[in-house]
Every structure is written in C-alpha cells, then in structure tokens.
Amino acid sequence: MAQYKYSIAYILSIFLVNIGFVHVPLIPFFDTMYPPMSIAVGLVFILRDFAQKEIGHKVIIAMLIGAFLSYLMADPYVALASLVAFMVSETIDWSVYTLTKKPLNQRIFISSLISTPIDSGLFLYMIGHFSLLATATMFASKMIGAFIIWYLLREK
C-alpha cells in the first residue's frame, strides 16, 4: 500500500476537489462569481505528477478511479467535466512526457505550462463557471505546484 501512496493520494484528491466544486459556494469577486476550489486544484496536478512517476502511464487508471468515485459520490455532472478535462490534459502530458527527451523536472514544467490552461478553461466551461479570472487562478495554482516540483527535482 505504501508503494502506491502518491497514486492513492491522487485518487482521493480528484474525489475531494470534485466534491468541493459541488459544495463550496461561489463567491462574488470583481465582476464574476468565483469558485474558491480553483485554488486547490493545483494539488491534484502535483499529486498526478508524483503518481505518474510512481506508476507510469497507469496513472490513467488512477484518474479513472478518481472520476468514478466522484461520479458515484459527488456529482455526475462535475465528475464528467473533470474526467473530460483530465483526459485532455493527460493526453497533452503524455505527449510531452513521451516525445521530449528532457529531464523529468522540465517535462513536468512544460506539460503543465501547456495543459493546465486548457484543462482549467475546459472544466470551468463544462460546469458553467467559466471566467478568465477563475481560469487564471486555476492555472496559477497549478503552475505554482509545477514550479515547486521543477525546483525539487532539478538537477543540481
């Protein structure tokens, strides 16, 4: 069980963030209604990167388990939006991880830079909460996580 600690944490984070998007109310922020859970999404991507390092391309299975749990226990509508957005970002990540020959920390940073704004915007659009502010916040939280991982894994 301990050998899959990041994969388990990744599955749980998908589930918990999806529940949060259902139950944490939107707050007025400037000229939009802002989903506060946008800030927490970066953690999911950090855990995904560690889970991918732990189990490789089988991380897709972990993502599907997280989406299934969300579908059963959170909200099917949010779970579907999450699954679609994750599949798009995972496809981008897979491409970067597979096609580039860069060190792991650079692949994490590059894949996050490309996939996270697409994932964020798509997810928010699908659940009816799209705004540039919310998308930018989700992107920023994910990139902070990607930067931390890049920093921790950089070659010294």
Q: pLDDT (tens digit, 9 = 90+) per residue, 20-66? A: 988 999 888 877 778 888 878 878 878 887 888 899 889 889 999 99
Q: Looking at the whole model, is its pTM more than 0.95?
A: no
Is pLDDT above 90 for 13? yes
d(CA 119, CA 80): 13
CB–CB of 93/57 below 8 Å? no
CB 141 within 8 A of CB 38: yes
Tally of domains in the chain: 1
Average pLDDT over residues 86-92: 87
Rounded to whole angstroms, the Cα distance separating 27 from 6 reads 31
Q: What is the mean pLDDT of residues 11-27?
A: 91
CATH code of the domain in which 135 resides: 1.10.1760
Domain that holds residue 119: 2-153
Name which residue leads in pLDDT, 139 or 155.
139
Of the candidates 119, 123, 113, 118, the one whose C-alpha atom is nearest the C-alpha of residue 145 is 113
For residue 29, the cross-strand partners are: 32
